[in-house]
Amino acid sequence: MDAILALRLLSDLHREFDRPLNVAYLDIKAAFDSVDRLGIQKALRSRGVPNVLLYLIVALHHGTGVQVRQGQNLSERLPTTSGVRQGCVLAPALFCVAIDWILRHMKDNTTATSCMLTTRPSSSTLHLMLF
């Protein structure tokens, strides 16, 4: 079934029965690279993660960088300041915690009819529509 049709049918059903509907659209191309590290810290802290574990996760991401390989040539190291580490077993969990934190804060704002967050232009975008 087409995603837009499914959303339309779901919206109609909720409207007919006077029920709220929360819909999130997340464009996740390069999402793991664009997660704000400070946001991850806030999300973990709000979940009650012990400081010692929080400091370890912060240290894991401190001083990270990337290099680009073209053939046999390797670029200079470029520092990274956002995103989770590629290939890290914690990356999916950290990403989910950050997104869950965003959704919870947006859902608490029941007066909004729609909202859009972006981490930077042409990057991951999160839309939340409340019907």
Higher pLDDT, 48 or 20: 48
Higher pLDDT, 110 or 94: 94
122: tokens are 């042409």
Average pLDDT for residues 120-126, to the nearest whole number? 45
Query: For residue 80, is pLDDT > 60?
Result: yes
pTM score, whole prediction: 0.59
CB-based contacts of 93, cutoff 8 Å, min separation 6: none
pLDDT of residue 29: 67
Strand pairing class (78-79; 73-74): unpaired
Query: For residue 68, is pLDDT > 60?
Result: yes
How many Cβ atoms from other residues are within 10 Å of residue 39's Cβ?
Answer: 16
pLDDT band at 28 (very low <50, low <70, confident <90, very high): low
Average pLDDT for residues 104-108, to the nearest whole number? 73
What is the percentage of the chain residues whose pLDDT exceeds 70?
A: 73
